[in-house]
Amino acid sequence: MKLVTAQEMKDIDKLATEKYGVPSILLMDAAAKVVADEVASILGECLVAKSDDNENTINAFGCADSVGDQQRGRVVVLCGGGNNGGDGFGTARWLHSYGVRVKVFLIGTTSEKISGDAALELAMLRTEGVAVNEVIKEEDWYSVELAIERATVVVDAILGTGFSGELRPAAKRACQLINQLAEHVVAVDIPTGVNADDGSSCSEAVKAETTVTMALPKIGMLLYPGKHHCGSVLVANIGMPTKLVNEYASQKYQITEAMVQRLLPLRAEDAHKGDAGRVVICAGSPGYTGAAALCGNAAVKAGAGLVSLLTPLASREVLAVKLTEVMVHGLLERMPGVLGSAATNDVLTRADVADVLAIGPGLGLADSTQQTIRDILAKVQVPVVIDADALTALKEHTELLTKMVAPKVLTPHAGEMARLTGLPVETINRQRLNIAQKYAKEWQAVVVLKGAPTVVACPDGTVYVNSTGTKALATGGSGDVLTGIIAGLAAQGISLAEAAVCGVYLHGLAGSLACKDVGLGADEIAYYLEDAREIVKNEAACVCSYREIVLK
């Protein structure tokens, strides 16, 4: 699914009207109906919960057929003066037509200042006899507070995707009341106070239970802290021309189950282990053999037919005991646990008969080992996954990346990316997509910037944002598992970019399937890979916070 910035969405809206002839008021009213239907659904769920002991039924719009007004639920819609407010006016009108008790407040402006399609929606709402209460004076706020306190659902239609910076006093006060008093909150397009482009948010930004966003997800909804404020995100089909959406030149995508299903390599019924791909992993100095073991085991669980682990001689016996499905070979050392030039040709020779090389997990930070890593990267011919200590070896040597012959994928977390680029960690986390995209182009590499969420950037400028994962994945060794998964998938005949996209999705999904908030061991992640893959393969329900609503 494509992701867009606020400006890109604005451009798409404009093209829909100017090039495809779709009146903008129709799009606005379609958006309003989808929001109203979601609110009605929430009301229906609340009424069902309250009606378990009687025979009242709930109609298709979420309203009780035979209950008093007090039981029908109240909805408060808070509107701003722009198009987001217009969506709110339309939502209120649709809800009123469903028989829902709705109260509308216009925050920090007057009706006379409303223009364009929002003014048309306001006029239609008033024609239905629904009052719009302007909140200008101090005494007006008492009514807002009381209404929110009594409401079953509050609709946030104050500010939309155009917001950046700080909230004005009236909007800030409205957001504070919503967060303090509202029972259920539905945000229109994006919660007020959240930046649609980078996910940054004000401290007072609305915390929605549900966000109904129009046509396409906005990038900031997938990035923290914005993602935290959005709750469950519903991507609403509001009748935007399909051709326009499909052809719009966005280079940013959300990784979805359908995408991964199309990319995943499949085995033939008569396949043997050689057909399933060969992975060589160079990893694991003394004291850090766990990283190598996690990586090797994950490559096996990802489906690679043959996995070989090349490790310093001092680590060989330990890893041979840890691993049963992985062939372990010792590399000549300069001193115990430290690689030297003698190891370079051995690694390259074994990599040449493999489909992919993964290098770095737990390999060591000794100067000699770091130089050996650089020598290997300079000469390797097969696709290579570069992680952990191999990333450290590239600090102040990133020019090597553009000289490499082999296709490569880098898998840094924010700290490693900071060492490679010289940028502060805070900047990297704040601009995850842009930074990953910039350096993927500069280094001519696939960059998997790990974090929440993980971002996959390709040399051609395409960026993918992962939609799976859980806080339980914040555990030592999780990244080593991801490296093994990507290498194992790449060995099966798909490109490094495709392996990275599938790998981060399956890694996150496997973590979610473990059903743990904390205490997930990295070794457990690989054991849920089979289940994760089956879910994707069989088009089962995805562990993901996004779903699509088609306009009825």
Position 550 scores a pLDDT of 40
| Residue 211, φ and ψ in degrees, nearest 5 | -120, 125
Please tell me the distance from the alpha carbon of residue 488 to that of residue 499, in angstroms, as a whole number: 8
Prediction pTM value: 0.89
State yes or no: pLDDT of 513 exceeds 90. Answer: yes
Position 61 scores a pLDDT of 42
The string over 166-186, giving b where at least 16 C-beta atoms fall within 10 Å of a residue's C-beta and e elsewhere, is ebeebbbbbbebbbebbebbb
pLDDT band at 50 (very low <50, low <70, confident <90, very high): low
Half-sphere exposure of 423 (CA within 13 A, CB side): 18
Average pLDDT across the chain, whole number:
92
Return the SS3 of 389: helix
Position 262 scores a pLDDT of 94
Superfamily of domain 276-550: Ribokinase (3.40.1190.20)
Mean pLDDT of 481-503: 97
Position 54 scores a pLDDT of 47
Position 55 scores a pLDDT of 46
How far from the centroid of its chain's Cα atoms is residue 229's Cα? 14
pLDDT band at 57 (very low <50, low <70, confident <90, very high): very low
Mean pLDDT of 506-526: 92
pLDDT tens sequence across 340-352: 999 999 999 999 9
Position 47 scores a pLDDT of 66
Reported CATH class of domain 6-50+71-250: alpha beta
The string over 461-471, giving b where at least 16 C-beta atoms fall within 10 Å of a residue's C-beta and e elsewhere, is ebbbbbbbbbe
Sketch the domain layout of the chain as residue ranges: 6-50+71-250, 276-550
pLDDT tens sequence across 426-456: 999 999 999 999 999 999 999 999 999 999 9
Mean pLDDT of 497-513: 96
State yes or no: pLDDT of 77 exceeds 60. Answer: yes
Position 18 scores a pLDDT of 96
Asked if residue 97 lies in contact with residue 59, where contact means CB atoms within 8 angstroms, the answer is no
pLDDT tens sequence across 171-200: 999 999 999 999 999 999 999 999 999 999
pLDDT tens sequence across 129-176: 999 999 999 999 999 999 999 999 999 999 999 999 899 999 999 999
pLDDT tens sequence across 275-319: 779 999 999 999 999 999 999 999 999 999 999 999 999 999 999
State yes or no: pLDDT of 78 exceeds 70. Answer: yes
Please tell me the distance from the alpha carbon of residue 49 to that of residue 29, in angstroms, as a whole number: 30
Position 348 scores a pLDDT of 97
